[in-house]
Amino acid sequence: MSDFDSNELEAPTATAVLEHIVRSIVDDADAVSVSSSTGRGDKVKLEVRVGPGDLGRVIGRRGRTAQSIRTVVRAAAVNDDVDVDVDFVDA
């Protein structure tokens, strides 16, 4: 069901929260994938890819939805004891 293995991730809670939120917003939930990598410094970079036509739904008007998602995921990352950056990638 999920495109990630929480044993391999640096931020499993934040990644699970991010995937859940994005899947609930988009039309094609099966096309959602979240990947992680080490970003600048100690930050974990989470990249979200969605199906064609769904990127606008995730970003929202003036980027408000994307900013809200970032805020919630950063709060969830406290449980993982890491800082995260969330990028929405056009696939």
Domain count of the fold of the chain: 1
pLDDT digits 0-9 by tens, 15-33: 999 999 999 999 999 999 9
Q: Cα–Cα distance between 71 and 88 in angstroms, integer?
A: 14
Domain of 73 in residue numbering reads as 12-89
pLDDT in tens, the chain (91 residues): 445 444 346 889 999 999 999 999 999 999 999 999 886 777 899 999 999 999 999 999 999 999 999 999 999 999 999 999 999 987 6
CB 46 within 8 A of CB 81: no
Q: What is the pTM of this model?
A: 0.85
Phi, psi of 74 (to 5 degrees): -65, -40
CA 56-79-1 angle, 5° bins: 50
The CATH number assigned to the domain holding 16 equals 3.30.300.20
